[in-house]
Amino acid sequence: EAKRQGKGRYLHFAEPMDLSIRRRSAIEAGLREALATEGQLEVYYQPLYSSRTRAMKGAEALVRWHHPSLGTVSPAIFVPIAESTNLIAPLGEWVMEEACRAAAAWPLRLLSVNVSAVQLRDPDFADKVFAILDRTGFDPHRLEVEVTETSFIENARHCRPNLQALRARGVKIALDDFGTGYSSLTHLQQFDVDRIKIDRSFVNAIQSADAGSPIIRAILDLADASGLDVTAEGVETQAQSEFLTQAGCDALQGYLLARPMPKEAIAALFADAAT
């Protein structure tokens, strides 16, 4: 089937391409609808723990979308679509406001919220975060934004003023998926960040506590020299947990310790701990 594009030009799509474009626009329309409706979007929380004491150090907010007919759609699918449309800003703000409102009542030290490179390019981004903090009464010192290093490098000029404004009010900055972007180690010193999150792919490669991972050791040495905290993400096995703890990684996050959970479930964890 031919599709008309502009004046007198036709683009011929092969069937799978056409399907994926239709699927993309269905997801885009569905997401627009979800943002205007109650109950389709939800925030899950995945705790992260001190490697040494096993005390909960914080939790990461992770968006979930319960589509009325498609079921639960993964953020790995709809976040990139939201980023390529104008939906990531309202989606990201919704997540941050919902999470700050919920976490304001919890004895949680740190709430981490993922922020897209597209949001960071908006010159008003920091002010939007401050407005959310004002509305929810959430203490900026308890908020951490997770940004990817790629977004950092590609948009340094635009995102730096936002990050500086956030840090000036006490908001923490974490570099997410660390190690997957280019020139990570060489650029680390020039980023104004508080924490790095070692990407799951490196953690996944740890076969045994003895063999460990030379790459992770190098990242931990560098973080130590730069005074940064480190979280390892995607910790699934006891061997990974042991190696990371021995090697001096501060915090662990992964299915071994806790899965992402609805707010009622994490609230119940706090209630249990208090009794």
* Residues from 222 through 241 that contact Mg ion (CB under 5 A): 233
| Residue listed under structure tokens 């703000």 | 93
Contact partner, 229, from Mg ion, ligand C2E, none, Cβ < 5-8 Å per class: none
Backbone angles phi and psi of 7, in degrees to 5: -85, 115
List interacting residues with ligand C2E (CB under 6 A): 46, 62-63, 74-76, 79, 92, 95, 114-116, 146, 176-177, 200, 233-236, 253-255, 260
CA atoms within 13 A on the CB side of 112: 23
Smallest distance, Å, CB 85 to ligand C2E? 13
Contact partner, 81, from ligand C2E, Mg ion, none, Cβ < 5-8 Å per class: none
Could you tell me if 42 and 75 are in contact, meaning their C-beta atoms sit under 8 angstroms apart?
A: no
* Residues from 140 through 179 that contact Mg ion (CB under 5 A): 146, 176-177
Q: Which residues lie below 8 Å from residue 25, measured CB to CB, with a gap of 6+?
A: none
Angle at 84 between CA 83 and CA 90, to 5 degrees: 45
Could you tell me if 198 and 249 are in contact, meaning their C-beta atoms sit under 8 angstroms apart?
A: yes
- What is the rounded distance in angstroms from the CA atom of residue 19 to the CA atom of residue 248? 48
Contact partner, 132, from ligand C2E, Mg ion, none, Cβ < 5-8 Å per class: none
Smallest distance, Å, CB 210 to ligand C2E? 21
Smallest distance, Å, CB 11 to ligand C2E? 30
Smallest distance, Å, CB 156 to ligand C2E? 19
In this structure, are strands 172-178 and 143-148 parallel, antiparallel, or unpaired? Answer: parallel
The interface mask with Mg ion, positions 96-125, x = CB under 5 A, is ------------------x-----------
Binding site for Mg ion (CB under 5 A): 114, 146, 176-177, 233
